[in-house]
Amino acid sequence: MQVKLIGFTRGTDFEDPERLVEFAGRVCHRSEEKMGNDSQREFIAKLKQWGHLSPLEHISATFFIRGISRACSHQLVRHRLASYSQQSQRYVDESSFEYVTPPSVNGKEKEKIFRETMEIIKDQYGRLVAAGVPQEDARYLLPNACSTAIVVTMNARELRHFFQLRLHPSAQWEIREMAKTMLSLVKERAPSLFEDIYAKYLGDHPA
């Protein structure tokens, strides 16, 4: 799995995304004149305390994610307040697809069953395409384990919601691992916005 932060909001007037959040929040209170050199941290803490999170929607993060399963991406795209661009199984030849093996598939016998099944699917997919079946129809054979790539953009408010759901111990293992890396990346860029969630879920176990 590869998770890369490829974009993070930088404004013309506020290159620091936390300053942009502070400005948006202060406009609501008509207190822009109170902005100081290091006032954003304290003010963002107040916004979170008040539950006033709409100012966080003015900044966003864009990730390039590769090597996750289609099962994982299906969970990811359920988060509707986001933008997605995903590798197509309609136009991309998947005759040699890579796949994700769950950790529970361990031991020689289970690994053998899983691997052999993936190879059978690859072979049958290739046979269908060779027989003239369009890739968009042959893909009906492809498994949830099939590896994919996706670009996703979320605003900071939606990211906080995403992390709270997908870092919970009950979340599925693959999307939880992905969320851990995503959180570590955005915390470096905007610590005031994410350090509380990081402390709650990753403080003792950083990604």
Residue 33 lies in a domain: yes
- Tell me: do 81 and 105 sit in the same domain: no
163: pLDDT confidence band, cut at 50, 70 and 90? very high
User: Catalytic annotation on 166?
Assistant: yes
pTM of the model: 0.91
Task: Give the percent of the chain with pLDDT over 90.
Answer: 79
> Are 13 and 71 found together in one domain?
yes
Tokens describing residue 4:
């890369």
**Whether residue 154 sits in one domain with residue 129:** no
User: Sorting pLDDT into bands at 50, 70 and 90, what band is 207?
Assistant: low
Who has greater pLDDT, 59 or 32? Answer: 59
> Do 47 and 111 fall within a single domain?
no
- Pair (7, 78) in one structural domain: yes
pLDDT in tens, 43-95: 889 889 898 899 999 999 999 999 999 999 999 999 989 999 999 999 999 99
Q: Are both 35 and 63 inside the same structural domain? A: yes
Domain ranges, residue 17: 2-85+147-201
Return the structure tokens found at 194: 């994410």
Three-state secondary structure call for residue 65 = strand
Which one of 115, 157, 166, 176 is the catalytic residue?
Answer: 166
Is the four-CA dihedral 100, 102, 107, 112 of positive or negative sign?
A: negative
Residue 42 has pLDDT above 70, yes or no: yes
Tell me: do 26 and 123 sit in the same domain: no
Instruction: For residues 114 and 102, give the distance between their C-alpha atoms in angstroms, rounded to a whole number.
Output: 10
